[in-house]
Amino acid sequence: MTLTSLDRPRHTSPRMERLLDGFEPSFVFQPVPPLPEGEFADRLRRIRQEASTAGHDVILVHADSIGSYKVSNSYLRYICDWAREGVLVIPTDSDKPLGLFSVFSSSVVLPPAGEPVLVEDIWQIGTWGRETYNRPGRALDRVVEAVAAHLNERGFARAQIGLIGDATSAPYWAGLKETMAGTRFVACNDIVDRMQRRRSVAEQAVVRAAAQLACIGMEAAYHVIRPGVTDHEIYAAFTFAQMARGGETGDGYQIGINPWGTACGKPYGHVVRPGDLINLYISAVQYHGYSAQIARMIAVGEITDAQEEVLAMCTEGVQKAAALVRPGALISDIANASFDPYIARGYLSDADSRTMPYNWSAGEGGAPLKVPSQYVPNPDWEAMGRRINHVWPATKGPHNPNVGHSVSMAKMPPYNIQSNNHATLEEGMTFVLHSQWLDPLKAGANIGDCYLVTQTGAENLSCHVPLGVHRVSV
């Protein structure tokens, strides 16, 4: 296949570094400091109170390394602002100090940021293994030994110990149970999980700043999008703009570009062409450990009537839902309102999340659903020697049977904005409302804003970038 000059990515062109020339955000980013130590002291007080009520003598909190300097959950960061892996020991008695067992491996990045707050003693376990370190044993076993010895020395040999962690914690908990046979271990994630529903004023400020970074990144992407630019360059522009102002990572979002509508993933070398629809799904711009989420659609030149209808429908879906956001509102009512435009246009028959068709649903009775085999032209992928032979996803409909979910810290259990959630909104809740639809190879959209529930209503944290489709003239 021969590529035209418009199609061919200019990987060696100096234009890549100049695409953001002249870019200025439409507003000034307002940075906020990390959460004050008093915020963590209050969390620790509340955790200890709940632990005491539950009869726990001590609580162990674990997060594991999952590679690329990331951890499996945010429990340690939430409790003591430790951004890496480790086991935190929290005695229920307030006169006994916290202890942190880390580091497990060389994949840990040293502070700052991430010096643990309120932790007096930190123990480095070290790295173990024959092949890499020429030391017999496993880090996991050494951690178990060290934590067990610490607990025994402090009188917790026959105690009730609460456990907070995730699936990666299982071998550590199993090792401790075997080593400390006289001790009772009780899972107690719910102590911290309950604290994730409402955000304090200080937390709200951090989420608001994260949303501002997402908006600035979006404006930077708008600045560079034009025919001939690649998805790598758009992604890079977004990343540079938000990270240069304090964003913690550059991998919390996806991009999708094709002639039919959104199908989101990571950049691979697609060259923007007239008629393309672009989805920037900003699932997490992270700032001081907290994140915000927004989604926008960009039309490059003329698009089809079917695509225009889907874009209008999804925009209206967010607006309908957002109009109901206030303290005391039923979450199910907000979800149902978001699907009114779908029902009015005949795209859905009802808003029931149990029966609603959605992109990743299974087949009849829960059986596996075969992804249709069909050649899908993609000149940029084919220029690299590959091709697409299936139509993804297998089902048309919303991406998910909900209109949003909570946003806060990575890997914390979310609540969903959907028809079966009959809880009420409370001041301090932060969540995304994103209206989505995809009919493969025809039309799709993913449009959303990040909201904070205020005392009297709602604050759109991503208000700096208009919700409607962004148009690129060609």
User: What pLDDT tens digit does each residue of the chain (474 aa) get?
Assistant: 344 445 555 555 677 789 999 999 999 999 999 999 999 999 999 999 999 999 999 999 999 999 888 899 999 999 999 999 999 999 999 999 999 998 777 666 777 776 899 999 999 988 888 887 888 989 899 999 999 999 999 999 999 999 999 999 999 999 999 999 989 999 999 999 999 999 999 999 999 999 999 999 999 999 999 999 999 999 999 999 999 999 999 989 999 999 998 778 899 999 999 999 999 999 999 999 999 999 999 999 999 999 999 999 999 999 999 999 999 999 999 999 999 999 999 999 999 999 999 999 999 888 999 999 999 999 999 999 999 999 989 999 999 999 999 998 999 999 999 999 999 999 999 999 999 999 999 999 999 999 999 999 999 999 999 999 999 999
Structure tokens at 443: 């039309």
Give residue 1's pLDDT.
38
Buried (b) or exposed (e) across 148-179, using 16+ Cβ within 10 A? bebbeebebeebbbbbbbbebbeebbebbeeb
pLDDT of 111 reads 76
- What residue segments make up the domains of the chain, in order of their start? 15-28+197-472, 37-194
Q: Are 410 and 68 in contact (CB under 8 A)?
A: no
- State pTM to two decimals: 0.94
Phi-psi bin for 77: left (phi > 0), alpha (psi -120 to 50), beta?
alpha
User: Cβ atoms within 10 A of the Cβ of 394, count?
Assistant: 17
Predicted pLDDT of residue 432? 98
The pLDDT of residue 67: 84
Q: Which CATH class is domain 37-194?
A: alpha beta
- Please report the beta strands in 143-244, taking only residues with DSSP state E, as ranges in sequence order: 160-164, 184-187
- CA-CA distance, 80 to 78, in Å (whole number)? 6
Q: Are 221 and 280 in contact (CB under 8 A)?
A: yes
The reply to whether 15-28+197-472 and 37-194 are identical in fold is no
Which pLDDT belongs to residue 474? 93
Structure tokens at 125: 């376990």
Topology of domain 15-28+197-472, CATH = Creatine Amidinohydrolase (3.90.230)
Q: What DSSP character marks residue 351?
A: -
Helices (H), 55-125: 75-80
Exposed, middle or buried: residue 118 (CB in 10 Å: 0-12, 13-18, 19+)?
middle
Q: What is the pLDDT of residue 334?
A: 98
Name the token pair of 31: 């940075």
| Closest to 288 in 3D by CA, of 183, 403, 410 | 410
3-class DSSP state of 18 = helix
**Cα separation of 413 and 400, whole Å?**
17
Strand partners, 258: 277
The pLDDT of residue 75: 98
Cβ pair 384, 166 in contact under 8 A: no
Look at the block and give the residue holding tokens 């028959």. Answer: 349
User: In this structure, what are the phi and psi dihedrals at residue 99, rounded to the nearest 5 degrees?
Assistant: -130, 140
List the structure tokens of 180: 């400390």
pLDDT value at residue 171? 97
Q: Which of 251, 276, 278 is nearest to 266 (CA)?
A: 251
At residue 82, φ and ψ (nearest 5 deg) are: -90, 115
The pLDDT value given to residue 127 = 81
395 burial type by CB count under 10 A (0-12 exposed, 13-18 middle, 19+ buried): middle
Q: Rounded distance, CA 413 to CA 59, Å?
A: 19
Q: What is the pLDDT of residue 45?
A: 98
- Report the Cα–Cα distance between both ends of the chain, in Å, rounded: 25
Could you tell me if 179 and 148 are in contact, meaning their C-beta atoms sit under 8 angstroms apart? yes
